[in-house]
């Protein structure tokens, strides 16, 4: 269950802030009260709607300071990733969180459609410095010296290679970019790797903690009505060479400011103003605490309430989901096969590897937000005799396609990709829908792809996948409650028949993975209209079994149903296989439109795309009517 909603007497200060300029006339005590109101608002609203709570509670004061120092949208503030931008939304006039991450409501990430204060919204980590590099170059070419570019990155994002590629370019071009490192020591889980250990050593050094406390006391001493910044600078200058990790950045040619307490608005503002005066790239190192100000989040050892789920009306526990089925089966496989290891990219718990890690801690490798490295490292593990299972959200496999193709497949490595959140995810918006993997992986020679329709098939096909040693395999499954098991009524080679009419079939419905339930529902509706439908699950959608071709030849129309884009998906692969085999039957592809889909619930998106029992049945009857009216022999409808 999520946290209890916040209590309080409303948000009178927040109600007065409609744009960032409204912050600039507020004094220190008022700003502190505003920060408290924002926390109460976030705890109440995000607990109800679901969303990213911990990251935003940790970024309250930092965001206030950013908007007091920089003038958005003239100055561009780029959030990497955007799940920490809820406070930014509030301070730029977006206060209706009643439908956060729901159809027609606020996005859970920055959104250009919502506000001129948002520029990037893809929500894939480690990209902001690339954007910043390009923006700063464009402003320099246009002679726009009045605009600053600010990239806010978490320390978790620093584990991604693109950050360092971007930083290298910023230095090479001496670009006026402020890089704010929001260092809370975590992404979903604690940040891993050498850089994380380096930052942690500085963050937790006793001298640094004493410096922050002394600096705070000095700022509270007025001198002629102003904070004693000169004394503060003296304290910082005296210890920075010992405690601050500026060498890490300054050796690269980047000016460094910090570390600074990111929950101290005055200190953070002063650090940002120093950075803004510098004519070149500069890093501002802000130390924050994820979930700050909310005890339940601070004490959540797993992920400090990185994400909270919407509160159910009756308080019932959520049903078992696909991820938990994968998690349980991985533990069983691990007990039987010591060569099986797990690889993930900063998402150990979200992809279901926590239990495996607890049982087999030496066989789990979290490489940070570095999908490309994860895949190539898995190739190396395979070459050394292990069988790695690379567990990722399907949308993040996009980032490592070259490595899948050239490092894993080209070398015939036995690597299994467990692709969670495949297909429509819905509430996380267009960047998180896993609707590209079936199309991308169709291009990979030697790749085998399983699309389980239910929990029993997920367990079985995961076992089949890890038994393959001569090339890559992938098992893809969606977000949400696991589908009820559907037992086959027959077989056609490796494909499983789920529904078979008494007589000759009019239409063959090829149901990919979890679309089986909708396909069976459509077959029932079609039967009521006198249309005989056979429903088949290919089980393994690459390569397609020849039994599927035999079934296709025996039907008047073939309809493929998949939770993937129409281009180059399973429907396209079956059409090609039929042509290659000389089978001349019309084929209709029911799939997701090849576009970025607006946020909504998974069911809402599928309904809009026609991927429901009613929508599929309607497609079939329309296609049959056109086919019979024109007496076509072959067409992709």
Check whether 184 is labelled as a binding-site residue.
yes
The residue ranges of DSSP E strands in 119-209, in sequence order, are: 149-154, 177-183
Check whether 294 is labelled as a binding-site residue.
yes
Residue 371 is a catalytic residue = yes
Check whether 156 is labelled as a binding-site residue.
yes
| DSSP strand pairing (490-492 vs 495-499) | antiparallel
Exactly one of 94, 192, 289, 399 is catalytic; name it. Answer: 399
For 229, counting Cβ atoms within 10 Å of its Cβ (0-12 exposed, 13-18 middle, 19+ buried), the class is middle
What b/e string do you get for 152-187 counting C-beta neighbours within 10 Å, with b at 16 or more? Answer: bbbbbbbbbebbeebbebbbeeebbbbbbbbbbbbb
Check whether 314 is labelled as a binding-site residue.
no
Exactly one of 37, 40, 121, 371 is catalytic; name it. Answer: 371
Q: What end-to-end distance do the CA atoms of the chain give, in Å?
A: 46
Check whether 155 is labelled as a binding-site residue.
yes
Check whether 371 is labelled as a binding-site residue.
yes
Encoded tokens for 33 = 């009260």
The answer to whether 533 and 523 have CB atoms below 8 angstroms apart is: yes
The answer to whether 59 and 52 have CB atoms below 8 angstroms apart is: no
For residue 308, give Cα distances in angstroms to 5, 53, 101, 437: 12, 7, 12, 27
Residue 290 is a catalytic residue = yes
Check whether 124 is labelled as a binding-site residue.
yes
Exactly one of 39, 101, 290, 453 is catalytic; name it. Answer: 290
Helix (H, G, I), strand (E, B) or coil at 105: coil
Question: Look-up: residue for tokens 């026609």?
Answer: 610
Q: Which of 542, 538, 590, 537 is nearest to 566 (CA)?
A: 590
Helix (H, G, I), strand (E, B) or coil at 558: strand
Query: How far is 261 from 272, CA to CA, in rounded Å?
Result: 12
The answer to whether 366 and 360 have CB atoms below 8 angstroms apart is: no
Residue 399 is a catalytic residue = yes
Residue 229 contacts by C-beta under 8 Å, 6 or more apart in sequence? 219, 270
Packed helices 229-243 and 265-276: angle between N→C axes, nearest 10 degrees: 80
Check whether 264 is labelled as a binding-site residue.
no
Q: Point out the annotated binding site for Mg(2+).
A: 155, 184
Q: Which residues are annotated as a binding site?
A: 83, 123-125, 155-157, 184, 294, 371
Q: Which residues are annotated as a binding site for thiamine diphosphate?
A: 83, 123-125, 156-157, 184, 294, 371
Q: Which residue numbers are catalytic?
A: 290, 371, 399
């Amino acid at each position: 269950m999520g946290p209890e909603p916040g209590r309080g007497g409303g948000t009178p200060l927040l109600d007065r802030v409609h744009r960032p300029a409204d912050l600039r006339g507020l004094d220190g005590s008022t700003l502190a009260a505003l920060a408290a109101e924002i926390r109460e608002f976030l705890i109440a609203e995000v607990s109800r709607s679901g969303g990213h709570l911990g990251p935003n509670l940790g970024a309250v004061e930092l965001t206030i300071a950013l908007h007091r120092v920089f003038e958005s949208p003239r100055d561009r503030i780029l959030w990497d990733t955007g799940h920490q931008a809820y406070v930014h939304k509030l301070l730029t006039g977006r206060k209706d969180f009643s439908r956060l991450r729901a159809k027609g409501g606020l996005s859970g990430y920055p959104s250009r459609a919502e506000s001129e204060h948002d520029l990037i919204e893809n929500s894939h980590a480690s990209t902001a410095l690339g954007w910043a590099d390009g923006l700063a170059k464009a402003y320099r070419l246009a002679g726009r010296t009045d605009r600053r570019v600010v990239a806010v990155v978490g320390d978790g994002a620093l584990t991604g290679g693109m950050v360092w590629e971007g930083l290298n370019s910023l230095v090479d071009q001496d670009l006026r970019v402020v890089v704010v490192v929001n260092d809370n020591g975590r992404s979903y889980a604690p940040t891993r790797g050498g850089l994380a250990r380096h930052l942690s050593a500085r963050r937790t050094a006793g001298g640094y903690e004493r410096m922050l406390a002394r600096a705070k006391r000095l700022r509270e001493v007025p001198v002629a009505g102003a904070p004693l910044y000169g004394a503060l600078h003296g304290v910082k200058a005296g210890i920075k060479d010992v405690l601050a990790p500026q060498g890490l950045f300054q050796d690269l040619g980047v000016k460094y400011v910090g570390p600074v307490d990111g929950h101290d608005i005055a200190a953070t503002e002063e650090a940002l103003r120093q950075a803004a005066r510098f004519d070149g790239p500069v890093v501002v190192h802000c130390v924050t605490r994820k979930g700050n100000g909310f005890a339940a989040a601070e004490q959540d050892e797993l992920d400090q309430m990185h994400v909270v789920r919407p509160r159910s009306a009756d308080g019932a526990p959520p049903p078992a989901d696909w991820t938990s089925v994968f998690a349980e089966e991985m533990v069983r496989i691990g007990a039987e096969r010591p060569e099986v290891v797990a690889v993930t990219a900063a998402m150990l718990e979200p992809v279901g590897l926590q239990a495996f890690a607890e049982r087999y801690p030496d066989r789990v490798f979290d490489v940070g937000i570095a999908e490309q490295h994860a895949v190539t490292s898995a190739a190396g593990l395979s070459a050394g005799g292990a069988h790695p299972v690379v567990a990722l959200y399907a949308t993040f496999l996009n980032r490592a396609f070259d490595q899948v193709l050239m490092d894993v497949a080209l070398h015939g490595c036995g690597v299994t990709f467990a692709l969670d959140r495949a297909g429509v995810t819905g509430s996380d918006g267009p960047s998180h829908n896993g609707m590209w993997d079936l199309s991308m992986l169709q291009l990979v020679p030697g790749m085998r792809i399983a699309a389980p329709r239910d929990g029993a098939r997920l367990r079985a096909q995961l076992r089949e996948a890890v038994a393959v040693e001569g090339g890559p395999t992938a098992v893809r499954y969606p977000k949400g409650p696991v589908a009820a098991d559907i037992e086959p009524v027959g077989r056609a080679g490796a494909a499983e028949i789920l529904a078979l009419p008494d007589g000759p079939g009019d239409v063959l419905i090829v149901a990919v993975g979890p679309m089986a339930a909708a396909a069976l529902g459509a077959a029932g509706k079609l039967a009521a209209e006198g249309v005989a439908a056979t429903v088949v699950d290919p089980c393994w959608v690459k390569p397609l079994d020849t039994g599927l071709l035999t079934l296709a030849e025996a039907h008047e129309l073939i309809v493929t149903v998949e939770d993937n884009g129409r281009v180059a998906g399973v429907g396209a692969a079956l059409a090609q296989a039929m042509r290659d085999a000389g089978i001349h039957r019309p084929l209709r592809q029911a799939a997701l439109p090849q576009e970025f889909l607006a946020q909504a619930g998974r069911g809402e998106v599928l309904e809009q795309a026609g991927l429901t029992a009613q929508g599929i049945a309607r497609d079939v009857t329309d296609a049959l009517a056109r086919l019979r009216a024109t007496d076509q022999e072959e067409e992709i409808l």
